[in-house]
Amino acid sequence: MTDSEGIGSELSRTFEAATMQYLSRAGANPDDWAAARKIELRSTEEIQALQDAYERDHSERLARVMQELANKAARQQLEHPAPRGFAAKPPAQTIADARYIVQRSHEADLASVRANARQEMKGLLEKALNRSQQLGLLRDVFRRTAEKAQQPSQSL
């Protein structure tokens, strides 16, 4: 795991904890909690599946990206040949570039899963807040009506 994966997962866990606290204050019902746990479980499973696939297919991904980089370099040499004395990229640089591309692609996939989970949780929070606000409005109307009913009527 790279530093950015560690930071990303730590931020994700922090966001999830804050969301759960906010969901609690928003007056979430049991269905909201079940949906939140389902979102959390699904995103955790998707992240684990991406990690497993990355570890399993890393060498094939690396070989494919290296081939793409080699093809791109060959096309570039045909279109714009390098002047004499200037060599193409050394193989070690191509390998490093390929590793960088594969790693960044994997991190983008992980970030996408986390962003989708955050978006779903945001929708869930908004739904709970709207429901809570509507209940609060109904409570206020009921309270005002009850207070008016309890007041003695002033008739002349």
* pTM for the predicted model, two decimal places: 0.65
**Is residue 55 assigned to a domain?**
yes
Query: Can you give the residue range of the structural domain that contains 28?
Result: 3-118
**Is residue 40 assigned to a domain?**
yes
Query: pLDDT of 1-57, one tens digit each?
Result: 555 566 766 776 776 666 666 666 666 677 877 888 899 899 999 999 999 999 999
**Is residue 139 assigned to a domain?**
no
**Is residue 96 assigned to a domain?**
yes
Considering only CA atoms, which of 121, 113, 118 is closest in space to residue 54? 113
**Is residue 124 assigned to a domain?**
no
| Gap between the Cα atoms of 39 and 50, Å rounded | 16
Kindly report the number of other CB atoms within 10 A of residue 117's CB atom. Answer: 21
**Is residue 141 assigned to a domain?**
no
The confidence band for 105, taking pLDDT boundaries of 50, 70 and 90, is: very high
Average pLDDT over residues 115-143: 76
Kindly report the number of other CB atoms within 10 A of residue 47's CB atom. Answer: 19
Average pLDDT over residues 123-144: 71
Domain count for the chain: 1
- pLDDT value for 20: 65
The confidence band for 79, taking pLDDT boundaries of 50, 70 and 90, is: low
